[in-house]
Structure 1
Amino acid sequence: MNHPQMMVSNKLINEFKTCNQLKYSGKLNIKSVNGQKWIFYYHAGKMIWATGGTHPFRRLRRQFAQYCPSIDIDKIHLHPQELSLDYWDYCLLVSLYNQEKIKPEQMTAVIENTTAELLFDLTQQANFYSISCDRNQELFLEAPVSISDADMSLKLMQESWEDWLASGLKNISPNLAPKLRKPEELQKHVSSAVYNNFVTLINGKYTLWDLAVKMKQSVLSVSHSLLPYISKGIIELVKVFDLPLRIIEVNKNSFIKKNTNPNSLLVACVNNNLSLSQTLEDILIPNGFRFINIQDTIHALSILIEHRPNLIFLNLVLPVSSSYEICAQLRRISLFSNTPIIILRDSDSPLERIRAKVAGSTDLLAKPISSDKVMGIVRKHTQAFSESVISH
């Protein structure tokens, strides 16, 4: 007969396997009755990002310390609007990748190890609290690098949890920080060198996850080595706060990425593909344009009307609305009757061009995009407006 804990784990595994089998693209939201939340992002059945859980900032700091040591994460500042996104950490990662500050293999390592940590954290929580799952396809992310199959991630998750249980660590959370409670007792059991290391590291400031990175060991080996001292009360496990990045206060319109030219044209992108949005931003802003990315498809029209962009990219493949439908809606508004509207598609086939033309689009741009392709089409369709601005 299955124990309740095992049944919960099976429920999770089945949900993950379903996403893989369906080649699902979108979010998998998971909640526990104690208030914990996790989000797993899928694209075509692959698990390409995970966020939520405990200490998201500490987790990101660990990943950068391990796999991107050249990045000083304390020099990275975030806007409140960026943090309002569930996937702010993925935005940061994609931005650094597009700026060529991290390599493909570094990004892959951060994605896969972040996902592994979240899967482990979720598995442990699911053995103590009931959970609920739901899928949401309003937004999906797309990884610009190769990601391991989701089945492999699940296999590693199960193996890690089994090893954790076999080591007697079921009730030990790696999100807790070990703190030396009886130093005099510890001195009786270890050498002076080991004792000094304990005093330096076992101070209640670093979680077991953090210590594993600092000691360049697995979290399993570090936790297992401390278990005898925890059992004897020499070391206690305490909760710690997260270590957030610095927040920069900005005005309410800060989601429009600006440059120093007050006459620069505004390009908008209505889009539910995060990596593509970031790529467009990294191309357009250095070339003298302002850029606004709109992921709120429900309010896209009102946002576009408010900001009146000089050119609009559309990249939507949704059950409710598509780029073609949004384009047709825009053309019915006099404000956008002459605005260049570019539809982004996976192919530049005659059929796609016919559909785009019928919807009222100005042009079609096939993916993958590049700086030359984007700037070529933007300059082609904004040249007349730029000349009128210069003449005035």
Structure 2
Amino acid sequence: MQGQLSEIDIRSILQLIELGQRTGELYVEAYAGPENTGLSGLAIPRTAQSWLVFLLNGQIVYAGTTDGQLTRLRDYLHRYELDSALDTTTASAIAPFNSPEYGYLWALMENHVLTPEQGRAILSGMVHETLFDLLSLHQGAFVFKLSTALSPQLTTFHSGPLVTTITQQIQEWKQFHPHIQSPHQCPTIVDAKGIATELAGPQGSRLLNWMDGRTSMQQIARYLGRDVVTLAKGLYPYARRGLIQLPHPPQPTQPDPDREEWDAARVPRVVCVDDGVTVRQTVEQILEEQGYEATSIGNPLRALSLLFQLQPDLILCDIAMPELEGYQLCAMLRQSTAFRQTPIVMLTGKDGFIDRVKARMAGATDYLTKPFGAQELLTLVEKYVGLGNPQRPEPELLLAEAIQDDLEMGAGPTPPLR
């Protein structure tokens, strides 16, 4: 089952899955661009966002984004004063390739850092929060893929009652506009004396500390173990009276704190696996001129063994290759603990929504749509292992020329850019 959200909404999709008692994974991708404003009325940044919902016999087991980050889990742990627990925890072996958050949650319970009750409370918040985002979408695409169940299951959620509750909350949320627009807005106290007299007690004191202009409403809701609508309802009178302000959420300018800080003394190593000769050479040239250590491999079967020797910091992997598809190579690498956390970027076709779904299912971190220019390649590489070098050559036409050369030379049984 697949389609566009303009034709069928998330509520109907989940209802069909529940009625059919299906087991599998629902992948949803929001279109990039300002036209998809979502529930907040604010333009979504021009970067695509995607989510996965795991289902068992029509019931939800887990739901989250596919970015692989642990920020959300860390926020939920803050409620139990366990923020630092993730720093000494290794993801459970059961962690799905594209949802490490679930694996870390299980590891915390296996190590008795969290009780099962606490784990279920966190999982419930994650599912609720994800559905709140999904049910507010009006533009995007989806694919539901039958597969084996995510195992083991901590608990399951009937989507029907949950969707009804969250839909009502979305309607409530609209009433806060324009004083409160986005869950990602960070409250800032304007009249400290005025609001302090009304927020007495330990919880009020904590809330005052969190309204520092750096902590979002979504984070505060996680800290409190509440949904963001309940929090917004409590803050709305203060926002309306001007005691607090909620500026529009800024675009992120710093890397996520859960990403490992890059050691600037070490040159990042990037490996490109692609059967197109000229494309490989051009990718190497562009990256090496920017100070990266770049290696390319044309045979995917040979790449499987060489990657273990090279231990790259980032892997670029074409999809359409002879003998072994990029999906298969990605899935095989994710089976090894050596590559569970390594960013793997799939090179997908121009209209490759299905390619992107398969890439996510195989455990890919991200994707780059062909044809792409040098600037797009460098931006993506810098996103994961960036040197941040502002001095760039002018190779914008190199990749386009390389693609044309490979097509004229007939490199490989399939064109390098599908």
When normalised by structure 1's length, the TM-score is 0.50
Q: Shift of the alpha carbon at 1:222?
A: 2.9
Q: Is the 8 A contact 2:76 2:225 kept in 1?
A: no
1:88 aligns with 2:100: yes
Return 5+ residue gaps in structure 2 as ranges: 33-47, 264-268, 271-325, 337-418
Instruction: Name the CA distance, whole Å, in 1 between partners of 2:122 and 2:12.
Output: 25
- Structure 1 residues 161-172: aligned runs within 5 Å: 161-168=170-177, 172=181
Query: What is aligned with 1:58?
Result: 71
Q: Shift of the alpha carbon at 1:50?
A: 0.8
Q: Is the 8 A contact 1:51 1:86 kept in 2?
A: no
Return 5+ residue gaps in structure 1 as ranges: 1-6, 253-295, 307-392
Q: Quick one: structure 1 residues 302 and 218, their matched pair in 2 at CA, closer, same or farther if it must change by over 3 Å?
A: closer
Query: What is aligned with 1:256?
Result: none
Query: What is aligned with 1:47?
Result: 60
Instruction: Name the CA distance, whole Å, in 2 between partners of 1:72 and 1:63.
Output: 12
Identity %: 14
1:222 aligns with 2:231: yes
Instruction: Name the CA distance, whole Å, in 2 between partners of 1:169 and 1:202.
Output: 19
Alignment-mate amino acid for residue 61 of structure 1: R
Alignment-mate amino acid for residue 179 of structure 1: T
Q: Is the 8 A contact 1:48 1:142 kept in 2?
A: no
- Structure 1 residues 50-199: aligned runs within 5 Å: 50-52=63-65, 57-66=70-79, 69=81, 72-76=84-88, 85-124=97-136, 126=137, 129-137=138-146, 140-168=149-177, 172-180=181-189, 182=190, 191=197
- 1:140-164 Cα distance to aligned partner (Å, 9 max, x none): 4124333232223222322322332
Q: Shift of the alpha carbon at 1:52?
A: 0.8
Q: Quick one: structure 1 residues 135 and 197, their matched pair in 2 at CA, closer, same or farther if it must change by over 3 Å?
A: closer
Deviates more, 1:47-56 or 1:107-116: 47-56
- 1:339-367 Cα distance to aligned partner (Å, 9 max, x none): xxxxxxxxxxxxxxxxxxxxxxxxxxxxx
Query: What is aligned with 2:209?
Result: 200
- 1:34-80 Cα distance to aligned partner (Å, 9 max, x none): 212111111221111111179953321232234x555733524668x
SS state at 1:47 partner? strand
Query: What is aligned with 1:383?
Result: none
Query: What is aligned with 1:36?
Result: 49
Q: Quick one: structure 1 residues 133 and 70, their matched pair in 2 at CA, closer, same or farther if it must change by over 3 Å?
A: same
Query: What is aligned with 1:244?
Result: 258
Q: Is the 8 A contact 2:179 2:240 kept in 1?
A: no
Q: Quick one: structure 1 residues 231 and 91, their matched pair in 2 at CA, closer, same or farther if it must change by over 3 Å?
A: same
Q: How many residues align?
A: 247
Instruction: Name the CA distance, whole Å, in 2 between partners of 1:163 and 1:28.
Output: 27
Q: Shift of the alpha carbon at 1:214?
A: 4.2
Deviates more, 1:16-25 or 1:220-229: 220-229
Q: Quick one: structure 1 residues 302 and 86, their matched pair in 2 at CA, closer, same or farther if it must change by over 3 Å?
A: closer
Q: Quick one: structure 1 residues 298 and 82, their matched pair in 2 at CA, closer, same or farther if it must change by over 3 Å?
A: same
The one of 16, 19, 22 equivalent to 2:17 is 19
Q: Shift of the alpha carbon at 1:206?
A: 0.9
Q: Shift of the alpha carbon at 1:98?
A: 3.3
